[in-house]
């Protein structure tokens, strides 16, 4: 994720330039939710979780936050109807919204048969796009008749030059024109057409991703400023490059029109285009959904993948900590057995590691886990800390320097004098995260290979046994 749009949005959002913003929803009494809150911390948010985890419930509750009588919107009953099979009662939905400089909180309830609303509701235009948008046009209501009987057009509405550019960018091809025609048999069933080098084709003959994206771009073109846009399974029908480009377009539009966008997704390509504060992971448990903010894209998607079945997960911040934990375990006489039974997973910033530890300590996860915080973090429930009381790079570089840089010249295949000079020079840089890459640039190795070698030698020569055993014993205890 290197989109400069992200930083522009961060700066403007911090400056309060989104005058309408849904800050949070609280859900109780619906589909296993027991009062959990979901906070929206960025103008464009991606919600991820396995099927049935509660993503669509969050989107539907968010869409119900504003008064549909004064704008385009929805009632809770539009999404949560009572049926012969479903009794919807005991529902308590809480909302916190920002309007200008003021923040308001209110609830919508359904204690028994009827929904109860606050005396004052606030208006905002809501645009809801569910997975039905991916249906082929001839499978949508009324369009089969249009395909068979239309003999002309009564009106046409072209995409603007700007939004034609968005369409071309997302799908990776240059469109000459795009428009929506009102057929003479039913003007309320418009048909989208795109013009390419070989001519014009309608949505009856477009590819699924082309059809879906044309509809979405056409709808967003007419969205008023400050609206709330909600898209379920935003990646549907799109290849990875198109998914990334669509998210970038939504980010750009969010900034220009001060839109709030809430997406659900199963795609790593979507999550990778969003900053950590824009990712919300839903992890189901017997007590209802757990909400985790800022998880890495890899970890978020690993939670909905059954490819790996370890006995124990070890959660760490990043690849640096993953390598160090692996070498710490490998340095123990029983390390081979332990490593065969665990999966070390980078999950994102320290707050995510800490949250996973707290959930594990409360038996709120469906699997065994131990969280491993960096050494410079404070203790937390369900967590152990890496040795040394400082950031991993400082601990490893400092420990190896105190030991005289043992065996590193042989491991790196470079003379000791030159290597030690490079190592000492790297340690003079203020940002310790850059130390492995600085050394790697000097000796023509990748930062990850430099770090792996140094972590291995540090675990062999500088790691105190008692500190190694603290981590090993925590793993053994959880496995038992």
CB 263 within 8 A of CB 254: no
- Do 266 and 338 have their domain in common? no
**Predicted structure pTM score:** 0.79
Provide the number of structural domains found in the chain. Answer: 4
- Do 475 and 355 have their domain in common? yes
Say yes or no to pLDDT of 308 above 60: no
Question: HEC profile for the chain?
Answer: CCCHHHHHHHHHHHCCCCCEEEEEEEEECCCCCEEEEEECCCCEEEEECCCCCCHHHHHHHHHCCCCHHHCCCCCHHHHCCCCCCCCCCCEEEEEEEEECCEEEEEEEEECCCCCECCCCCCCCCEEEECHHHHCCHHHCCCHHHHHHHCCCEEEEEECCHHHHHHHHHHHCCCCCEEEEEEECCCCCCCEEEEEECCEEEECCCCCHHHHHHHHHHHHHHCCCCCCEEEECCCCCCCCHHHHHHHHHHHHHHHHHHCCEEEEEECCHHHHHCCCHHHEEEEECCCCCCEEEECCCHHHHHHCCCCCCCCCEEEEECCHHHHHHHHHHHHCCCCHHHHHHHEEEEECCCHHHHHHHHHHHHCCCCCCCEEEEECCCCCCCCCEEECCCCCCHHHHHHHHHHHCCCCCHHHHHCCCHHHHHHHHHHHHCCCCHHHHHHHHHHHHCCCHHHHHHHHHHHHHHHCCCHHHHHHHHHHHHHHHC
Answer yes or no: is 233 within a domain.
yes
What is the predicted pLDDT for the residue at 1? 53
Q: Residue 435: which of 445, 425, 421 has the closest Cα?
A: 425
Q: Quick one: pLDDT band at residue 288, thresholds 50, 70, 90? A: confident
- Do 213 and 241 have their domain in common? no
Answer yes or no: is 288 within a domain.
no
220, 240, 271 — which closes off a domain? 220
Residue 439 makes CB contacts below 8 A (sequence gap 6+) with 422, 423, 426, 445, 447, 450
Say yes or no to pLDDT of 159 above 90: yes
Answer yes or no: is 290 within a domain.
no
CB 295 within 8 A of CB 330: no
Give mean pLDDT, residues 243-259.
96
265, 282, 299 — which closes off a domain? 282
CB 230 within 8 A of CB 127: yes
Q: What are phi and psi of 218, to 5 degrees?
A: -60, -45
Say yes or no to pLDDT of 2 above 90: no
Distances (CA, A) of 144 to 91, 187, 210: 40, 14, 19
Q: What is the pLDDT of residues 166-201, one digit of tens each?
A: 999 999 999 999 999 998 888 888 998 999 999 999
Give the Cα separation of 298 and 307 in Å (integer). Answer: 13
- Do 35 and 91 have their domain in common? yes
Q: Quick one: pLDDT band at residue 302, thresholds 50, 70, 90? A: low
Answer yes or no: is 396 within a domain.
no
Domain CATH for 350: 3.40.50
Domain CATH for 265: 3.40.50.300
Answer yes or no: is 159 within a domain.
yes
Give the Cα separation of 129 and 149 in Å (integer). Answer: 28
Answer yes or no: is 92 within a domain.
yes
CB 265 within 8 A of CB 48: yes
Give mean pLDDT, residues 294-322.
80
Q: What is the pLDDT of residues 101-126, one digit of tens each?
A: 899 999 999 999 899 999 888 999 99
Q: What is the pLDDT of residues 347-395, one digit of tens each?
A: 999 999 999 999 889 888 878 899 999 999 999 999 999 999 999 999 9
CB 278 within 8 A of CB 41: yes
- Do 347 and 266 have their domain in common? no
Say yes or no to pLDDT of 128 above 60: yes
What residues make up the domain containing 337?
Answer: 308-387+465-479
220, 240, 267 — which closes off a domain? 220
Answer yes or no: is 316 within a domain.
yes
- Do 372 and 474 have their domain in common? yes
- Do 359 and 473 have their domain in common? yes
- Do 216 and 231 have their domain in common? no
Q: What is the pLDDT of residues 425-439, one digit of tens each?
A: 999 999 999 999 999
- Do 473 and 338 have their domain in common? yes
Give the Cα separation of 156 and 218 in Å (integer). Answer: 13
CA atoms within 13 A on the CB side of 477: 11
Answer yes or no: is 303 within a domain.
no
- Do 119 and 12 have their domain in common? yes
Q: What is the pLDDT of residues 446-467, one digit of tens each?
A: 999 999 999 999 999 999 999 9
- Do 32 and 155 have their domain in common? no
Burial class (CB in 10 A: 0-12, 13-18, 19+), 154: exposed
Say yes or no to pLDDT of 305 above 80: no
Say yes or no to pLDDT of 84 above 70: yes
CB 228 within 8 A of CB 221: no
Say yes or no to pLDDT of 303 above 70: no
Q: Hey, which residues does 199 pair with through a beta bridge?
A: 196
- Do 469 and 363 have their domain in common? yes
Q: How many residues does the chain have?
A: 480
Q: Residue 359: which of 36, 55, 32, 42 has the closest Cα?
A: 36
Say yes or no to pLDDT of 306 above 60: no
What does pLDDT average to over the chain?
91
């Amino acid at each position: 994720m290197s989109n400069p749009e992200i930083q522009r949005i961060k700066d403007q959002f911090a400056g309060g330039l989104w005058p309408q913003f849904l800050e949070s929803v609280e859900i109780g009494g619906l589909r296993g939710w027991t009062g959990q809150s979901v906070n929206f911390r960025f103008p464009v948010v991606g919600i991820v979780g396995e099927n049935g985890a509660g993503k669509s419930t969050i989107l539907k509750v968010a869409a119900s936050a504003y008064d549909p009588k004064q704008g385009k919107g929805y009632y809770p009953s539009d999404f949560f109807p009572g049926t012969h099979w479903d009794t919807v009662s005991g529902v308590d939905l809480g909302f916190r919204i920002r309007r200008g400089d003021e923040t308001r909180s209110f609830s919508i309830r359904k204690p028994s048969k009827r929904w109860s609303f606050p005396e004052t509701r606030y208006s905002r235009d809501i645009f809801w796009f569910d997975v039905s948008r991916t249906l082929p046009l001839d499978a949508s209501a009324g369009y089969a008749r249009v395909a068979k009987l239309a003999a002309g057009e009564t009106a046409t509405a072209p995409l603007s030059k700007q939004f034609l550019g968005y369409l071309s960018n997302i799908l990776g091809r240059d469109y000459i024109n795009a428009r929506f025609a009102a057929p003479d048999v039913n003007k309320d069933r418009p048909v989208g057409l795109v013009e390419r080098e070989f001519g014009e084709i309608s949505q009856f003959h477009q590819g699924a991703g082309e059809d879906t994206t044309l509809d979405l771009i056409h709808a967003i073109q007419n969205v008023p400023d400050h609206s709330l846009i909600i898209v379920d399974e935003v990646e549907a029908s799109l290849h990875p490059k198109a998914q990334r480009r669509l998210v970038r377009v939504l980010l750009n539009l969010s900034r220009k029109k001060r839109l709030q966008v809430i997406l659900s997704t199963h795609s790593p390509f979507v999550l990778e285009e969003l900053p950590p504060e824009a990712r919300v992971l839903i992890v189901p448990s017997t007590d209802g959904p757990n909400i985790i903010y800022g998880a890495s894209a890899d970890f978020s998607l690993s939670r909905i993948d059954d490819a790996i079945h370890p006995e124990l997960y070890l959660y760490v911040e990043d690849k640096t900590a993953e390598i160090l934990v692996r070498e710490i375990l490998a340095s123990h006489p029983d390390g081979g057995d332990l490593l065969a039974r665990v999966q070390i997973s980078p999950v994102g910033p320290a707050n995510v590691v800490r949250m996973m530890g707290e959930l594990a300590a409360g038996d709120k996860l469906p699997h065994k886990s131990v969280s491993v915080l960096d050494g410079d973090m404070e203790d937390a429930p369900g967590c152990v800390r890496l040795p040394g009381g400082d950031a991993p790079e400082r601990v490893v570089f400092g420990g190896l320097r105190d030991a005289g840089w043992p065996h590193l010249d042989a491991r790196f295949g470079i003379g000791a004098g030159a290597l030690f000079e490079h190592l000492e020079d790297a340690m003079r840089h203020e940002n310790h995260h850059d130390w492995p890459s600085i050394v790697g640039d000097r000796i023509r190795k990748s930062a990850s290979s430099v770090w792996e070698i140094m972590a291995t030698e540090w675990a062999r020569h500088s790691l105190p046994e008692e500190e190694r055993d603290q981590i090993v014993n925590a793993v053994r205890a959880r496995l038992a």
